[in-house]
């Protein structure tokens, strides 16, 4: 990572993380309060993460203008 950040292209790519992915994880952790998995095991963790992502996306749809138009 240090080698990548020495280049202009690497710094530009790394700076875009705030705009692309990081806010979603920040909202899930801070707003929704999801900080750790209560279930253990390689089978249970992906199922739990899928549920968290699904509810996150449902909430986004519910709060969007599209949901208001459908009602």
Q: Is the pLDDT of residue 31 over 70?
A: yes
The pLDDT of residue 66 is: 66
The 10s digit of each residue's pLDDT in 50-64 is: 888 898 888 888 888
Put simply, whether the predicted model's pTM sits higher than 0.75 gets the answer: no
Rounded Cα gap, residues 19 and 35, in angstroms: 21
24 contacts 56 by C-beta, under 8 angstroms: yes
61 contacts 67 by C-beta, under 8 angstroms: yes
Radius of gyration of the chain (CA): 17
The pLDDT of residue 18 is: 65
């Amino acid at each position: 990572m240090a080698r990548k950040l020495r280049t202009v292209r690497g710094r530009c790519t790394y700076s875009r993380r705030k705009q692309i992915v990081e806010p979603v994880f920040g909202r899930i952790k801070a707003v929704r309060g999801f900080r750790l998995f209560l279930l253990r095991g390689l089978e249970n963790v992906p199922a739990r993460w899928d549920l968290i992502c699904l509810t996150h996306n449902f909430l986004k749809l519910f709060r969007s203008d599209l949901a208001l138009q459908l009602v």
